[in-house]
Amino acid sequence: MTGSDLIGMMILAAGLFAIGVFGVLARRGIMFQLIALEVALSGPALGFVAAGAYHADPQGQGMFILVLTLAAAEVAVGLALFLRIRRTAGSDDSDIISGMKG
């Protein structure tokens, strides 16, 4: 992998992260926010793999496994919260959460 390849991969990783953050901030539905959060997490994961490949170091792949595990835990907790909010409030709008008491 050359230096220009690494720069291209890092730009792609930053773009994925920016798209994910924009999706979390712009969308109101909890499911869309969870999907955007997954896209945001895939950006740093791609960056770790690209940097590891550039330096010929397997630690980038290890960090990718860590990010993947974090994303799986986030999905499990996020879906559980989504189902509870949907059952309690009857809507998946994230603005409803601010009105809940308890």
Tens-level pLDDT at each residue, the chain (102 residues): 788 899 999 999 999 999 999 999 998 888 898 899 999 999 999 999 999 999 988 898 999 999 999 989 988 998 898 888 888 888 777 777 777 666
Among all chains, which residue has been given the structure tokens 């991969």? 9
Per-residue pLDDT at 23: 94
CATH code for 3-90?
1.10.287.3510
Among all chains, which residue has been given the structure tokens 């992260």? 17
Per-residue pLDDT at 11: 96
Task: Provide long-range contacts, Cβ within 8 A and 24+ apart, for 63-70.
Answer: 67/41, 70/41
Look at the alpha carbons of 91, 92, 94, 100 in this order and tell me if their dihedral is positive or negative: positive
Per-residue pLDDT at 101: 67
Per-residue pLDDT at 65: 93
Per-residue pLDDT at 100: 67
Token digits for 90? Answer: 């009857």
First to last CA, the chain: 54
